[in-house]
Amino acid sequence: MELLPRPVAYSVVLVFYIIGELLSVNTFITSLKIVRQGYILVAAARTVYTVAGGMIMYTVGHTGLFLVTDIIVSDISPLDWRGFAAALTSAPVILNSFISAEIVSSVEAGPGWRWGYGMFAIIIPAIMAPAIATLFAAERRAKKKGELVSGRPKNEVKPSRSAVRLLKEFTIQMDIVGLTLVGLIFGLILFPISLAKTVHGGWSNASMIAMLVVGVVCIPIFIIWERFFATHAIMSKRLIMNRAFLAAVGIHFFHQFADPLWNLYLSSFVWVVKDWDTRSWVYFNNSMNVTTSVFNLFGGLILKYTHRYKVWSQILIGIGGAFSVVGSRVGAQASVPHEDLASLTALLSVWTSLGGSVGSAVATAIWTSTMPDNLDKYLPGVPQATITKLYGSIKSARNASPEVRKGVIEAYGATTRPMFIISLGLSCICFILAFFMPNYYLGKTQNAVDGKDLAGEVVTTTTGESRREEEKKRNESN
């Protein structure tokens, strides 16, 4: 279930973004409605399929909210403050991580898990109301000034477009063929890796091989389509040739690839091996989020006062889950003019999500292919029915007899060890890629390409020299 929501989410959000460009649809409001509906579906679910559908919906919605927020923050902040401004959007995690432990404990002991999802269908729209009001106020001011297409004079003649022509424009702008091929590539390659152990016949099942073959064949087809036929390619040539963007994609992709390998089953592992209550368990699960959010803020301040984004992200990659991601994102955004900012941010998020999906697929494949065998190895003499139950339920594993639980813990350790080793190796790739990022100066400009500030005025060069000083040097040389 981890594989599907995120790629679907970012594909849908890209469509939202393009439709919003054409029709001025409020992506923020649309995403919020989808979040609310997703939580309602999960809370009211009677089947696992409804739960999966609800998860996909609220993941799509949350992704839309995060992406729009990221674009807005990037759009209104100069380079030197951008890392800190972006970090502030995740700062509430520091407080919420402690509150959530109390909420989970209370919900588990009280109304049950359904209310744990259902209450967010009420809470999220309520707490987002001030942000929505602010966005509407800003949009209204922009319309009055004629800065939006929808805010232009009423007497301005607008070209009429038929439904067929509008649909054609949507199809071209969205690059439906390209998006479909991307979905097929990752879906057909990742699903067999995760499902091979659980389907009848495993890798001998013809459908597994067929999906892999078709997925691999789609890769050159996608490249040819994007290179020679797509009018509006998913990734423009400017981005494909952008060293900062490609290095940032690699850092985000491999960082997210490595993350599920150690993190996906860590929560269940700790629940089985530790005699913690629910509150302590939730505190442990949230500890990394708190650490990341805190160091995001520190990383943002370092970017501000050093005016360089590579300082700590290369040196402290261990803490750099926060530092490297903040630094690489700001560096990539600095490498493009303002008109490419939104598309770069969206594409960077897409590749980040796909990295996480690949990592989840690999982690799932390792778990499903080795955990049952390790349970057999470390639980000799235990009936197969009991082993199957222990494999499928962490509650049964936690409540097993001391002798059986000891064997389960050994099996968990043997299964997760290679995941941690692979994750460590992938993290080293992020470190290497950091050296390929250009060392931009982070000043008061919107980006490091044209030297313009948020108002569109040229105020500084990409090296941080003032325009007056640059002109003085030019005059002296003449």
What is the per-residue pLDDT for 339? 75
Q: Contact at 8 Å (CB) between 313 and 255? A: no
Structural element, H or E, at residue 59:
helix 48-76
Q: Mean of the pLDDT values across residues 80-90?
A: 82
What are the structural domain ranges in the chain? 5-175+231-443, 176-230
Q: Contact at 8 Å (CB) between 450 and 458? A: yes
What is the per-residue pLDDT for 475? 43
For the stretch 184-204, what's the b/e string if a residue is b when 16 or more beta carbons lie within 10 angstroms of its beta carbon?
bbbbbbbbbbbbbbeeeeeee
What is the C-alpha separation between 72 and 63, in angstroms, rounded? Answer: 14
314 pLDDT tier (thresholds 50, 70, 90): very low
pLDDT at 178 over 70: yes
Structural element, H or E, at residue 281:
helix 278-306
pLDDT at 5 over 70: no
What is the per-residue pLDDT for 134? 80
Total length of the chain: 478
pLDDT at 323 over 60: yes
What is the C-alpha separation between 61 and 34, in angstroms, rounded? Answer: 5
Taking only the tens place, the pLDDT of each residue in 440-464 is 888 888 788 877 777 667 775 444 4
Structural element, H or E, at residue 210:
helix 206-224
What is the per-residue pLDDT for 320? 56
Class of residue 279 by CB neighbours under 10 A (exposed 0-12, middle 13-18, buried 19+): middle
Q: Mean of the pLDDT values across residues 58-86?
A: 81
316 pLDDT tier (thresholds 50, 70, 90): very low
What is the per-residue pLDDT for 158? 53
Taking only the tens place, the pLDDT of each residue in 422-433 is 888 888 888 888
> Going by C-beta distance under 8 Å and a sequence separation of 6 or more, which residues neighbour residue 67?
10, 13, 17, 345, 346, 349
DSSP secondary structure letter of residue 452: B
What is the per-residue pLDDT for 13? 52
DSSP 298-366: HHHHHHHHHS-SSHHHHH-TTTHHHHHHHHHHHHHHHTS-GGGHHHHHHHHHHHHHHHHHHHHHHHHHH
> Going by C-beta distance under 8 Å and a sequence separation of 6 or more, which residues neighbour residue 152?
146
- CATH no. for 5-175+231-443: 1.20.1250
What is the per-residue pLDDT for 161? 62
The proportion of the chain whose per-residue pLDDT surpasses 70, expressed as a percent, equals 81
pTM of the model: 0.65
CA angle 29, 30, 31 (to 5 degrees): 90
3-class SS at 161? coil
Quickly count: other Cβ atoms within 10 Å of residue 125's Cβ. Answer: 14
Region at 337 (left for phi over 0; alpha for psi -120 to 50; beta for the rest): beta
What is the per-residue pLDDT for 155? 54
Cα–Cα nearest to 460, from 334, 341, 343: 334
Taking only the tens place, the pLDDT of each residue in 342-379 is 778 777 877 887 788 788 888 888 888 889 889 989 98
pLDDT at 466 over 70: no
The proportion of the chain whose per-residue pLDDT surpasses 90, expressed as a percent, equals 1
How high does pLDDT run on average in the chain? Answer: 76
Quickly count: other Cβ atoms within 10 Å of residue 119's Cβ. Answer: 15
Taking only the tens place, the pLDDT of each residue in 188-235 is 887 787 777 777 777 777 888 888 888 888 888 988 888 888 887 777
Q: Mean of the pLDDT values across residues 133-152?
A: 68
Tokens at 323, concatenated: 């530092």
Cα–Cα nearest to 103, from 282, 338, 286, 324: 282
12 pLDDT tier (thresholds 50, 70, 90): low
